Structure 1
Amino acid sequence: MEIKKLDDQLATSSQIAAGDLEAVAAAGYRAVLSNRPDGEAEGQPTAAEIAEAAKAAGLAFAHVPVIGSQISEQDIADFRQALDVLPKPVFGFCRTGTRTTMMWALAQAGTRTADDLISTAATAGYDLSGMRTRLEGAS
């Protein structure tokens, strides 16, 4: 598991296993935010399994599942809401970390420039340049 920091409140990684939650807690994270729908891939742990392991590790948990090509305004509002209520810092994940990064950028759009969001994501290893128009449209 490679944790990639997006800002002081959120970091992301690819899919985790329940056994990774102790390391997430030891790294100083206080909550887990899952953006991966259950059943997306064979053998993937369910949100309930991750939630149970998060609780055992002393972490809060929220599940805001999204499909990358179908992120709605409601999905963005749900993500913002989760970030507002979860204790910080938050560790987010999906299959590769890209969806969590996309959701973070869309939730920040309008308060930060598209250039800043795209650059920050790139520093973490995620290419959001294809989202420029949507990020600019929220400004």
Structure 2
Amino acid sequence: VINNRPDFEGGPEQPTSAQMKAAAEALGLAYAYLPVQGGFQSTEEIAAFRELLDALPGPVLAFCRSGARCTKLFVQAQSL
């Protein structure tokens, strides 16, 4: 699981990365936190996403608020 959503995006009632990590690990899932802002993903963020795709056991689920950031990161990471 790759979480691309910054903590508290969408309000304080949203679970934090630490809470999601605990839940994922309780289910035996690997978890990574790579928060990115909407609208622009840096070359460093794209490279970090690629590294996570290569390192984490598959299949990998990446998520953000709408799916747009994850899709952009995935598409751009494929060219690395």
TM-score w.r.t. length of structure 1: 0.54
Q: For structure 2, which runs of at least 5 residues remain unmatched after alignment?
A: none
Task: Give the Cα separation in 2 of the matches to 1:65 and 1:107.
Answer: 15
Alignment of 1:71 onto 2:44? no
RMSD (Å) for aligned C-alpha atoms: 1.1
Task: Give the Cα separation in 2 of the matches to 1:106 and 1:77.
Answer: 9
Question: What SS does structure 2 have at the residue aligned with 1:70?
Answer: coil
Report runs of 4+ in structure 1 exceeding 2 Å deviation.
none
Structure holding more helix per residue: 1
- The Cα of 1:96 is off from its aligned counterpart by 1.0
Question: What SS does structure 2 have at the residue aligned with 1:83?
Answer: helix
Question: What SS does structure 1 have at the residue aligned with 2:2?
Answer: strand
Match of 2:51 in 1: 81
Q: Which structure's CA Rg is the greater one?
A: 1
Q: For structure 1, which runs of at least 5 residues remain unmatched after alignment?
A: 1-31, 111-139
Task: Give the Cα separation in 2 of the matches to 1:60 and 1:70.
Answer: 26
Task: Give the Cα separation in 1 of the matches to 2:43 and 2:18.
Answer: 25
Structure holding more strand per residue: 1
Match of 1:103 in 2: 73
Residue 38 of structure 1 aligns to which amino acid in structure 2?
D
Match of 1:56 in 2: 26
- Structure 1 vs Structure 2: percent identity of aligned residues? 49
Q: 2:4 aligns with which of 29, 35, 41?
A: 35
Count of residue pairs brought into register by the alignment = 79
TM-score w.r.t. length of structure 2: 0.92
Alignment of 1:90 onto 2:65? no
Which of structures 1 and 2 has the larger relative contact order (alpha carbons within 8 angstroms, sep 6+)?
2
Q: Deviations over 1:86-109 (max 9, x none)?
A: 000011111011111110001013
